Each structure stands twice: as structure tokens, then as C-alpha cells.
Chain A
Amino acid sequence: MKGYLRYVIITLFLLSVIPAVSAIGLAARSMWVKMDYVPNLEFTQTYQIITTSDYTQDYTLYVTGGLGQYITIEPDQFKDIVPGSDPYFTVSLKLPEGLDKEVSPGIHQIRIGVKETVSSSGGKGIGLLTSSEAIIDVRFLYPGKYLTAKLNVKDVEVNKPANFKINVYNGGKEDINSVRAKIEVYDSNGNKVAMAYTEEKSLKSNAEDTLHAQLSTEGLKSGEYKAVATVYYDMKELKTNEAKFKIGSLEIWIIDYTKEVPAGKINPFDIEIESRWNNQIQNVYAIVTIGRRTFQTPSTNIAPWEKKTITGYFDATNMGVGEYDAEIILYFGDNTAKELGKVTITKPEEVMLMPVITPTTTLLVIIIILLVIADIIYLVYSKKHKTYKEELEMLKMQMKTKQRKGK
């Protein structure tokens, strides 16, 4: 079976041919209406369907959300709508008395949407549809006192005060007599380093306000901090969100760098850097331009307040001796540090060919010397031996000659 399947061509018409631009929209005085529930609440708004596709089609209207049953739309059908006709419809919302006892408190969202019905033509796959929705939010108040709070703070410069704002909203049916907050600040290790307190206010039902607190940052190092507030209201309390902020700015200094390199080879190029930040900084690297040549160092991490040397490699082959403009740009996070200076390219280093004596070499030299000595001994010995033999032969010859004469 699988062998057969291998040769079956799969055609993937994920999103195929669309004859024209698919598009739709809604227009109204407000596309996101927000209102508070009151008994017998009535709301009416007219919407316009923006039909920017260039072919005639039907449009579908729909309503979502738990309060959708209280919505009426007139007209509720749009058939054979020609391009550019941009028809209108009216949405009416009427909420009965006592509904707040039937539904849960909070925001109930109703969405009124319009959707295309023709997504493609040519019968080759199916394409893309667009829809657009208008939103109506109806807020139902909570029984009693119901507070929500959100803490905000902006980054500050070193030794400048940090201004905290807490947006508070009373979503309950009863007024709140007293609301105030305590703000605690933690460093990146989770140590509590500072506290601040807001003023005290009252807050009516369905009203919002802002609590303020100012914190002196003197003595706090540059870095990232987080703050969380405890809001106290009429014998109750709640914790806010964590708000992160920075004191000072993410900063790394370029302390020093290689000032001289010899021509004619690839040289290590050191850049000494120092973190001025209270947290580890990741992915730190430099792009260095010397003359018209550019190279990049590998990336590294740097610990809080750490001094570190990063090394790249600068190819000085085929570069003349002299002083060149240098630009070092250090990249870290979304920040950079820049250093402009000079780098001198000096004469190429002379290569000294020093004999290298190793045990193997020594052994070889000794063997060669011994062989030479042996050769010499052999030669001397063989020469002496040859002379002795010749003298002996001559004596034998003389003795033979004397014997013959005696006979």
C-alpha cells in the first residue's frame, strides 16, 4: 500500500485561487460601545457594511455573547449585494429590569458580526473569508464593594525619584470610604529594597481614580526592579500586578582595546568592557571596523558590574603599515556603545628560525656521529690490514725465489 502511495500526487490547495481581493468592514459612530447596566436600558446604533470585494455576494449577520438574545437587527439578511452598495442595518439592544439579578457581575460582551459568503471561484480549492465585528460591552456592578487596581511606573534615571501610579476602580454597588496603598520594591534577586505609600482617597460606586506615590531611588544601583502594591480599602486588601521598571539605562562601557597589530597576519583583537548594569546582560558582541576592514567578535554574556575582555580576529594581511581609523560598536540588547579611535598597523614580525632540539634529534645526531666514527675506524683498519697482507705476500714470493736458486 505504501509503495503505491508514494506515487500518488498530493495536491495541497491550502488557500487557492481567489478571483478578487477578499475584504469586508463595518462602520459606525462607535465600533466598541461601553455602557453600564440600568433597568430597561435601551441602545440603538446604525451600522454600515463596507463591501469592498468586487463581486456580488450574500453577507451573513451574526450575534455572539450571552446577552445576544436581547439584540434585534433590522434588516437581518443581505442577499446579492453588489459591490460598493454598502448597505445599512440597525442594532437595537433592550435589557429588561432585574437582569442584574440573573447574570453574573462584570462585563458582558456582545459581538455583532458580518461575514462574506463567497470565498473563491473556479472550483479549485477554497480560499479565504473575511469578517468584521462590532462590540457592545455592558457592565454589571458587583454587590457591595469591589475594587480593581493596576500599578504603573516608568523607568527613571539614576538618583531621580520614581513615580508610582495605581489606577483603582470600584466596580461594586457600594461606595468605598477609604482606599490607600503600600508599594514594595524588589531587586533582581528578590530582595526588598524600598517602600513607598500613597495618599488616601474615597471612591464612589462605578468610579475610578488614581493613587500616587513617589520613591527616592538614591542609593539604588542601575538595574531592573519590580514593584508590587498592596491596596487597602475599608478593612479589605488586595495585591496589584507586578510592575517592572529600570533605574538608569542598560549600559556597558568600552574601557580599552588593542591599539597595535602587526601587518601580514590575522591578529587577535581584544576589547575590554565593563557592565554598568545590575543584571546579567546576554548576547554582547562588537563589530569593529579598522580602515575598510570589518570583523565581529563572538557573542558573550556579562555579569552585573563585571569587567571582561572580548576577543575578535582582525585580518591585517595585505594591509600597509600605518595608523588607521577604528570604530568599535558594542551591541547589547537594543542598545549600543560606540568607541572611535586609532589602530596602528606595525611592520610584520620577523620570523627567527631557531634550531629546535628534541630528544629524537639528539638521538639521531648521536647515531650519525657513531656511524661516522665507525666508518673511519673501518677505513683505517682495512687500510692497515691491506698493507700487512701485501708485505706478507712479498716475503712469500722472495722465499720461493731463494728456494729455486738453491736447487
Chain B
Amino acid sequence: MGEVSNKSLATLLVVAIVVSLGGTFISLNRLSSLGRVPLITGFQTTGEVNVSITEVTTISAPEAIIWFGEGTVAAGTDAELWSNGTKINWNNASSWMPDPAYTGEGSENKSEDFIVIENTGNVHLNISVYTEKNASEYLCDNLAGPTFVACDTVAEYKYWSLENETGSCDSDHVEGTVGSPTSFIGNGTQPRQQVCGSLRSAAENDTVRLYVYLKIPEEVTGSKTDTLTFNSAKSGAQD
């Protein structure tokens, strides 16, 4: 095979350049007719990114223990126990709080005790509570006759809620106060009783407290148990 002359190489180069430019011109011309863009320009198009954020209404109870301990009502009186620390006419055989037999969550010594509900979701939540028992059903359950009547007249089972962090729950939307707690109605699931009308979801202010107040007549004896059910639903206020 003979050597290719410089003239031939130059001719091939010119042909290659012409073919390349011509092809580019034709391609862009066709693309422009599709996208209605000016001739000889880079081609681009627009796109959409759709993201749907799932709404989550999760709650947790990092402080789920209120422990009043064991004790007796002072003779001739009715005892009052406030879970924020006040006890009246109450002779406690064991420590005030917490349960001495329990060493887990909430077992540390403290002057008050309360339940904490945390909004771990991503929307503001309406937090409500309900219980099967009212004061009489909770405290006088094992009594009968005149003793029951005496207990039923005096017994009280109440709660109040409070922001656990500043701004976590609009103050108008908490329930009761330490000076005026709200009675548990009992009756199971209905009606729900408000804890926080709009518990915020931001991590820095997403918790609410619930305290309990008991008035225990002298007639009361035995172990007392109850279950509080805390319910979450998306709040109407999301600002």
C-alpha cells in the first residue's frame, strides 16, 4: 500500500469537517422543529418533580408512670394527693415517689410526677384522653352499702395538662389548671377529654404533661388500678 499524500489527507480532513458541520446543522434543525427553539443552540426541556409528604400522627409517652406509692389516709380525714408533689392527710408507708420496687424509666427520685406525651409525627396533633373509670369506680370499687355511699360522695379523680416545653401547646388549648383540675368522666371511649388542642411537631416544643389529683376518702382500701388511653389525631390548627 502506497503512502498517502499530504494533499489527500487535507482533502479527507475538509470532507470530514463538512460532514460533521452538516450533520450538526441538520440535527439541530430537526430538534428545533420539535422543540421550537432557535436554530443552532443547545436544546433543553423542563421537568416536574412531584413529592408527596406523608402525614404522620405518631405519639409516644416517654414519661408513662405516675407513682403515688403506698400509704394510709390520716384518721378522721380525707387524703389529697397531687402528682405535682403536694400530699395532704397522707401517711405514706413507702416513699412518695417513685415505686421503690421499680428501677426503670421514671424511677429516679423527684418531687413531682407526671405523664409526658410527645408528638413524634410531622403534623400538629389534637391529644385527648379517656378512661373507663370515674372517681367512684376507681377508688370505691371494692366497697358496698353506707361505706360505698360515704366514699362515693367524697372521692375525686381529676387531671390537668400543662406545656412541657414553652409553646408546645397553645395555652388556651391545655385542660384544667393546678388550682382547678378537670374530673375524669369515665365511660370509656366517649367522650374524649382534651389534653392539648394542638401539640406542635417541632422537636424543640412537642411535649405536653398530664398531672393527676386524687381525693381519697378514709374508707378506701386496697390496690387501685386504672388505664388512661391517650389518643392522637391531626389538629385543625396547623399554623
Q: Which residues of A contact B (CB under 8 A)?
A: 1-3, 5-19, 21-32, 48, 50, 52, 64, 111, 113, 115, 119, 124-135
Contacting residue for A27 out of B55, B93, B212, CB 8 A: B55
Give the complex CA separation of A16 and B227 in angstroms. 9
Which chain B residues lie closer than 8 Å to A12 at the CB level? 68-71, 81, 214, 216, 223-224
Contact A126 B57 (CB under 8 A): no
Asked if B179 is at the interface of the complex by the 8 Å CB criterion, the answer is: no
Contact A13 B231 (CB under 8 A): no
Contact A23 B58 (CB under 8 A): yes
In addition to A12-B224, A31-B55, 9 A-B residue pairs with Cβ atoms within 8 Å of each other are A6-B75, A8-B72, A11-B222, A12-B71, A13-B223, A17-B104, A25-B58, A128-B115, A130-B59
Interface digits, B87-101 against A, CB 8 Å rule (1 contact, 0 not)? 000000100000101
Give the complex CA separation of A115 and B233 in angstroms. 12
Contacts A14-B224, A19-B104, A50-B56 known; A130 to B73 CB distance under 8 Å?
no
Interface digits, B59-87 against A, CB 8 Å rule (1 contact, 0 not)? 11110111111111101000001000000
Contact A15 B232 (CB under 8 A): no
Q: List 14 A-B contacts (CB under 8 A).
A: A2-B75, A7-B72, A9-B70, A9-B72, A10-B71, A13-B223, A13-B225, A15-B65, A17-B104, A26-B58, A28-B55, A50-B58, A124-B101, A132-B233
Chain A's closest residue to B118 (CB) is A23
Contact B220 A131 (CB under 8 A): no
Asked if B33 is at the interface of the complex by the 8 Å CB criterion, the answer is: no
Give the complex CA separation of A284 and B101 in angstroms. 50
Interface size on B, residues (CB 8 A): 55
Chain A's closest residue to B230 (CB) is A130
Contact A128 B230 (CB under 8 A): yes
Chain B's closest residue to A27 (CB) is B56
Contact A23 B120 (CB under 8 A): yes
Contact A14 B226 (CB under 8 A): yes
Contact A11 B223 (CB under 8 A): yes
Which chain B residues lie closer than 8 Å to A9 at the CB level? 70-72, 93
Which chain B residues lie closer than 8 Å to A25 at the CB level? 56-59, 120-121, 232
Which chain A residues lie closer than 8 Å to B219 at the CB level? 2, 5
Give the complex CA separation of A30 and B216 in angstroms. 45
Give the complex CA separation of A127 and B226 in angstroms. 7
Which chain A residues lie closer than 8 Å to B71 at the CB level? 9-10, 12
Q: Which residues of B contact A (CB under 8 A)?
A: 52, 54-62, 64-73, 75, 81, 93, 99, 101-102, 104-105, 115, 120-121, 123, 147, 189, 212, 214, 216, 218-234, 236
Which chain B residues lie closer than 8 Å to A15 at the CB level? 64-67, 115, 226, 228
Closest Cβ of chain B to A158, distance in Å, is 28
Contact A126 B225 (CB under 8 A): yes
Which chain A residues lie closer than 8 Å to B120 at the CB level? 23, 25, 52
Contacting residue for B221 out of A10, A21, A26, A131, CB 8 A: A10
Give the complex CA separation of A15 and B184 in angstroms. 15
Which chain B residues lie closer than 8 Å to A126 at the CB level? 225-227
Contacts A9-B70, A27-B57 known; A14 to B105 CB distance under 8 Å?
no
Contact B64 A127 (CB under 8 A): yes
Contacts A24-B59, A31-B123, A125-B223 known; A135 to B234 CB distance under 8 Å?
yes
Chain B's closest residue to A133 (CB) is B233
Give the complex CA separation of A128 and B56 in angstroms. 21
Give the complex CA separation of A126 and B228 in angstroms. 9
Give 8 nearest A-B pairs by CB, closest first.
A25-B58, A23-B60, A12-B68, A31-B234, A31-B55, A133-B233, A11-B223, A27-B56
Contacts A6-B75, A25-B121, A52-B120 known; A16 to B70 CB distance under 8 Å?
no
Closest Cβ of chain A to B86, distance in Å, is 15
Contacting residue for B60 out of A1, A2, A14, A130, CB 8 A: A130
Give the complex CA separation of A391 and B224 in angstroms. 114
Chain B's closest residue to A135 (CB) is B233
Closest Cβ of chain B to A210, distance in Å, is 18
Closest Cβ of chain A to B176, distance in Å, is 16
Which chain B residues lie closer than 8 Å to A26 at the CB level? 56-58
Contact B58 A52 (CB under 8 A): yes
Which chain B residues lie closer than 8 Å to A32 at the CB level? 233-234, 236
Give the complex CA separation of A126 and B65 in angstroms. 10
Which chain B residues lie closer than 8 Å to A127 at the CB level? 64-65, 227
Give the complex CA separation of A15 and B113 in angstroms. 11
Which chain A residues lie closer than 8 Å to B212 at the CB level? 14
Closest Cβ of chain A to B188, distance in Å, is 12
